[in-house]
Structure 1
Amino acid sequence: MIIGFMRNHVTPTYVAKLTSLLSKSQGIDVIYMRPADVNVASGTVKGKIYIDNKWTPIETELPVFIDISPYCFKKKNIQIIQYLRENTFLSDDRKNTLNKRMLQNKLLEDQRFSHLVIPTTKIEGDFARIEEFTHKYGKIVLKPIFGERGKGVYILKKKSKSYKLGINTHEERLNYDELKDFFETSLKNKGYIMQKYIASRTMHGHPFDCRVHVEKDGRGKWVVARSFIRIGIGQKVISNVNQGGGIADLKPFLEANFGEKKGTIEKKINHLASTLPYKIEELRNTHIMSLGMDVAIDENGKLYLFEVNGAPTTAPLKAEAVMLRTEYYKFILENIITDNLKKENEQFKAKYEIIEQQKNQFEKRYNDIKKSRSWLVTKPIRILGSALKRFK
């Protein structure tokens, strides 16, 4: 059985190679492909398959399942993506996606998850709203609604007669007019939200968060691939390791920074990992294979949800993520897709039986007509009509 592994890279990545090797142990061949490799007209794809330690070109029918990166869902690929949605099973069809603000609002409505919500509001065209929000909470975070990987995230703090604005490792002091200019040029109508600042910092004062990376397993259930701490060493805003920082294992970090609270915090994180992914699927009303949940932990051990990433990096957990994904591939092929084929086969059988019934009814009616008196009386006329046609 062949499945697709769709990414935007021209050259297959190391993760693609590792996925291919592990999938072979499950009896599954992986074809590496890009959106442009799909031929909508013929229902085929051109890709690469890993054979004898090298990627070999191949053309085949559209795979019944495709592990697709959310980054493939670009405007230029819209026709291909729609075709894939209608003709194959995608690891995430990206329907009903939730931005940061929508997710916070939805979770706020659910008592099971409302405690995770950080006070959030959208930045509109009025600068006064930022003033009010900053005055209320003292310190706030400004971030793009559709942003990822910590890009464009600022921290704003109200001082007595001025403001402090920080991004990455840079921080500057602004007066009222300078902040207003910053709002007009960088935030207004740019799709930003503002949140209450949560003091999630190490004992040395560095910002951190906990990335809870979950994957579907061989039973189609959510499990933790790895929970780890991301520390933004020297940063002013968030624990963005892409901008400089480090990663720590969860247990030793909690022990060093929270002491006796470590056990309670770990239980909270594990509970979140086993419940929130199902809520996300419920809200989106679709199936998902992979999620990265970014969680803040304040000094009292309370958890807050920063955001949920539908395309979490696998760099810190390549082996764990790939192993779980290959098990999930097998589950999909043996259960979901097999069930769908059975349903299609049953539907075909039902339609065939209806056609057979209709055929039998028509034959019966035809035989009844042939045996009828009117049919027998008009037989000579029909024979004469046929003879005349032959002489024309």
Structure 2
Amino acid sequence: MPAASIAVVGGGPAGLFAAETAARAGASVTVFDASRSVARKLLVAGYGGLNLTHGEPIGKFISRYRGPDLPSWFGEMIGEFAPDALRQWAADLGIETFEQRTGRVYPRVMKAAPLVRAWLRRLHELGVTIEVRHRLTDIAPGPTLTFHDGPALRFDAAILALGGASWPRTGSDASWISLLQKHGIRITPFQPANCGWEVDWPEDLVSEIEGRPLKNLAATAGGRTVRGELMLTRYGLEGGAIYQLGPELRALAAPVLSVDFKPETSLDVLVRKMESVPRDFLEAASVRWKLPPQTCALLRLLGPSGSALDLARTVKSYPIPLLGPRPIAEAISSAGGVAWTELDENLRLHKLPGIHLAGEMIDWEAPTGGYLIQACFATGRRAAIGAAGSDRRAGPSTPCC
């Protein structure tokens, strides 16, 4: 019986790991990518330091993933290729990793390029063929794939790992949506995730706050509170704290972020530290509460406080009305994609047997910190195992009628 012929469409981490997994299972694998080279988004993301995964306990790690109708077996899928396995995979490529104090895991060399070069060498050794400048233009049962200016090709199985809708300049432009929708596949509209949010700052405030961080704070939206940092920008807010609250903020008709600038200090303690201050509460608080200038600038927006208690309450719950998220092209990742109800546990489409999905095409999201790449690897692995186990054996890819 000839080796199963498997097409992988998309040369990001999900697609490349699917290709590696399928090739190790004995399949004949061809990777197709519309760009002039593969792993472009990975290289851009890793230019200043590639955050591969996170070192927190697996139970907490899995809890970071969210999305409508996220299946009960999603956590099991992540656990099958957990953070330790990803670090070992990198080590086998000759890429040593380390865990920061924050739990984030990076290659020792910090850059993505050495890892990508070693990975491509491994794929070559496994017999994986990579075809660039191949844009997918049609999908049909079979599975049959058509690329721009080429014949329809039939495979035993296909894995689509075409990405979400963020960073379209790297190839994740969601142009595949219409190809699946015509087969009746339900797709949740894409929205920006892990992105900045716009705020209508007064013009005279911008020069005081732009580019300044707000550190060691707690942020609340939609009943959920997270710890982290924010970066003040000309257009609004960036940073891990607001990235984590994306789902809650998107669900609000009038999104407001509530910030506790002193989460380690109770309201009563703040008030006691202001004893004997008769007036100019903010000036005194900047010293006694150790408030940085940018925080004081924000507090001045609300006008003078009637008492130390009023100011302390504001510091513990400072409201920032938000206009909306920044454009999806700027977002680190996207929320939305193919609904989980369209897939089985092998990430195979019910309506297109033989075609599996992987990566950010599917409707899940996670915060920054290594969770995004980890899930791309895990979904790529699960899709490849399902595709390589296909009972259909037509031999190498052939032009379809």
**TM-score of the alignment, normalized to the shorter chain, above 0.5:** no
Q: Report which of the two has the higher share of helix.
A: 1
TM-score, normalising length: structure 1: 0.28
Q: Choose between structure 1 and 2 for higher RCO, CA contacts under 8 A separated by at least 6 residues.
A: 2
TM-score, normalising length: structure 2: 0.28
